[in-house]
Amino acid sequence: MKTQKEAKISYWAAHLTTVVSVTLLLLIIGIIALAAIGADRETRRLRSRIELNAVMTDSVSEAQTEAVAEWLRKRPYTASVRVVTSKEAMKHWKEETGEDLEQLFGVNILSPEVSFTLRPEWTSSAQLKKIQAETGKQPGVESVAMPDADIVDSMNSNLHTLALILGSVALVLVIISFVLINNTVHLSIYSRRFTIHTMQLVGATNGFIRRPFVNNNLLSGVLAGALASGILAASLAGADRAGLPDIASFIPWGAACIVFGALVAAGAIICALAACLATTKYLRKDYDELFR
C-alpha cells in the first residue's frame, strides 16, 4: 500500500516537473516571439515614415498638382499623399525659420509640393531611386526630394540584422526546448517503465499502452502552454496599466493572442511527440534492459 502510494506521488511529481519545465521554456519562447512582433511593427513604422516630396514648377496649376497627387495615390507603393500648396509651404517656412520670404522678395517664391510616404516593403534605396525617377517624369514636377540613400540602406541593414538575430535566437530556443522537454517527459515515463512491460506481458497492444502516456503528456503540454500564455498576458496587461509608452502599438492584443495560441499548440505537440518517442523506446526494451 505504501509502495503504491509512493508510486502515485512519484507519478504526479514527474508530471508536475514536466509542466513546470515546459512552462518556463514556452515562456522564454513566448517572450522572444512577442519581442519579434514588436521589432517587426517598429521596423514597419520606421520605414513608413520615409517621405518623398515632389516639388512642382512655379507655373504649375492647381489642377496639375492634384493630377500628380491622384496619380501617386494609385501607385502600389504609396501609403499616403498630402498636397502642400505654395501658401502652406510659405507658412511652414515662416514657422521653421522665422523669415518672411514673401515680404523679402515681394512674391511667394515657394512652389507647391506633393508629399507622399511609402509602404514598408518599397523602402530599399534601389526602389526609392526608381520611384524618384518615375515621379520626376510626371507633368509639372520639377524635382523629387528623398532621404539620403546611404541612411536608408543603413537603416534597412540594421533592421535586417535585428530580425536575423531574433530569428536565430528563437530557432535555437526551439531546438533546446524540444531536447529539454523530451528529456523531462522521458524521465516521467522512465518511472513507469515496469508498468509498460507488465502491460505487454498481459497482451496489451503497443497503441493501447502508448495512448494514455501520450494523452497525459499532451494535457500537460496544454496546461504548460496555458500557464505560459497566462503569465505573458498578465505581464502585458500590467504593462498597459502601468502606463508604459506605446506598449499596445508595439505588441497589439490580436497578435499576442496568436502567440498565446501557438504556445498552447506547441506545448501539446512537443509533449505528445516526446511521450510517443519515449514510450516507443521502452516498448522495444527487454526486461533486463529496463534496469539500465
The enclosing domain of 142 has a CATH number of: 3.30.70.3040
Alpha-carbon distances, residue 31 vs 34, 171, 189, 250 (angstroms): 5, 13, 29, 13
Q: What are phi and psi of 123, to 5 degrees?
A: -115, 20
Neighbours of 149 (CB within 10 A): 14
Domain boundary (79, 111, 146) is at: 146
- What 19-23 contacts at long range (C-beta under 8 Å, 24+ apart), as own/partner pairs, is 19/220, 19/223, 19/224, 19/227, 20/224, 21/180, 21/181, 21/184, 22/177, 22/181, 22/184, 22/220, 22/221, 22/224, 22/225, 22/267, 22/270, 22/271, 23/224, 23/225, 23/227, 23/228, 23/231
Same-domain status, 82 and 36 = no
- The answer to whether the beta carbons of residues 111 and 57 sit under 8 Å apart is yes
**One domain for residues 263 and 120:** no
Domain count, the chain: 2
| Interval 191-231: pLDDT, tens | 677 777 777 777 777 777 778 878 888 888 899 999 999 99
> Same domain, yes or no, for 63 and 189?
no
Question: Is a pLDDT exceeding 50 seen at residue 2?
Answer: no
> Mind listing the pLDDT tens digit for each residue in 21-77?
788 888 888 888 888 888 778 777 777 788 888 888 877 788 888 899 999 999 999
Q: How far apart are CA 237 and CA 129, in angstroms?
A: 43
Claim to verify: residue 96 and residue 197 sit in the same structural domain: no
What pLDDT is attached to residue 7? 47
For the record, the C-alpha cell of 22 comes out as: 515546459
Q: What mean pLDDT value characterizes the chain?
A: 78
| pLDDT > 90 fraction of the chain, expressed in percent and rounded | 10
pLDDT of amino acid 286 = 65
* Domain carrying residue 206: 2-45+154-291
pLDDT at residue 226 in the model: 93
On whether both 16 and 109 belong to a single domain, the answer is no
110 and 198 in a common domain: no
Asked if 254 and 192 sit in the same domain, the reply is: yes
159 shares its domain with 266: yes
128 lies in the same domain as 62 = yes
Give the domain-ending residue among 146, 175, 191. 146
If asked whether residues 37 and 168 sit together in one domain, one would say yes
Domain boundary among 114, 146, 178: 146
One domain for residues 130 and 236 = no
Q: What is the mean pLDDT of residues 177-188?
A: 71
Are 228 and 220 contacting, i.e. CB atoms less than 8 angstroms apart?
no
pLDDT surpasses 70 at 152:
no
pTM of the model as a whole: 0.68
Whether 157 has a pLDDT exceeding 70, the answer reads: yes
Same domain, 85 and 213: no
